[in-house]
Amino acid sequence: MYYAYRLTDSPTQHAYPLAIDGQAQWQPVPDAKLSLWRTAITLPAVPEKHIVVPSFSMQGGNYQYQVALTDTNTDLSSRLNPLLTSTEQLAQWPEKYSDLSTVSDEIDCWHSKVELTNTEFEITVESEYQPQHYLLVLSIRALELECPFSAMKSISLDQPAAFSQMTAEAKLRSRICSPTSLAMVHTTLTGQTAFSEIVEQCYDPASKAYGKWPLAIKAANTRNLAGAVESLPSWASVSDILNKGWIVVCSIRFDKNSLTGAPLKQSGGHLVVLYGIDLTDSEEPSVLVMDPAGKTQSEVPRRYKLAEFSKAWLDYRGGGYILNLQQPVY
């Protein structure tokens, strides 16, 4: 099964490369300490062993939010940690909590353990006014999925700027593939450099990690980038995104020596920037990526075998940040 539901009030500003379904119906949350707004999406029946990925962004990045899944028959729910930027703000939000045994929470998404029925997704956003210039996306697909290649021609955006996470201080360098990838996209699209600042913005005080997907999107929003996290289902979708000029930061994992030419021998979770697909060699097509694990800037640009990269990325979860410049609001 594959399902994606995308809502925005600013289709021109976001110019998102995948289909938009309408606008969210926001309702104020009464008697709250903060100025909160809430909307919900009823999920279709979701089979077991599927991933449910929420994403929210808003122009300027001046927002916080929290997401939850609820069984509407039992009121049992799974609530993730709120998306925020300081430990002090944790006290303003309900704690992470789950009595919904049908799913497992995975920091920034859910995995279904059994078929989900009568399930509702809910997002609560802190904003002085009703959310504006937002992009809300909920994507669902099988955790494991064979994704045969189907692009008809080579695609190559301009090679992004190169940053190596390995040039950071020793205590950070193995932890910052996500902000380093985002920094490469940011510099490429804006011509500005903010590597250190983006690393700091991507630090999650709840998990004490730098790889939380929604924080990367929030950091992007503060620097004039629009986008979302999605769990993508096919190379056809990826080709559409690249053809429209959007860059994808891919969340990959791979076994020892299974990604030929990678600076890491193996990884349980790593992010790289995908900017092209090369079909020149029809027997062995390849992808063009910027891998932040390269020891130096000159070692960041990489070419990986498409079949191996597909297994590392799309065949499991298929998570990625889809990013481009925000368009002006008139």
| 17-46 per-position pLDDT tens digit | 999 999 999 999 997 778 999 999 999 999
CB-based contact 124:29 (threshold 8 Å)? yes
CB-based contact 56:322 (threshold 8 Å)? no
CB-based contact 124:77 (threshold 8 Å)? no
Backbone CA torsion sign across 276, 279, 280, 284: positive
Does residue 37 sit in helix, strand or coil?
Answer: strand
DSSP summary character for residue 237: H
How big is the chain, counted in residues?
Answer: 330
Predicted local confidence at residue 85, as pLDDT:
67
Predicted local confidence at residue 13, as pLDDT:
67
DSSP summary character for residue 293: T
CA distance 143 to 150: 20
With CA atoms as reference, report the closest residue to 89 among 116, 117, 126, 53: 126
Predicted local confidence at residue 86, as pLDDT:
67
Q: Which residues of 86-105 are buried (b: 16+ CB within 10 A; e: fewer)?
A: eeebeeebeebebebebbeb
Residue 200, C-beta contacts closer than 8 angstroms, at least 6 positions apart = none
Residue type, 173: R
With CA atoms as reference, report the closest residue to 41 among 172, 152, 113, 137: 137
Predicted local confidence at residue 314, as pLDDT:
97
Q: Which residues of the chain have pLDDT under 70?
A: 13, 85-88, 151, 329-330
With CA atoms as reference, report the closest residue to 15 among 28, 24, 6, 4: 6
CB atoms within 10 A of CB 243: 14
Predicted local confidence at residue 330, as pLDDT:
55
Predicted local confidence at residue 133, as pLDDT:
93
CA distance 85 to 77: 24
- pLDDT tens track for 124-176: 999 889 999 999 999 999 999 999 887 678 999 999 999 999 999 999 999 99
Does residue 15 sit in helix, strand or coil?
Answer: coil
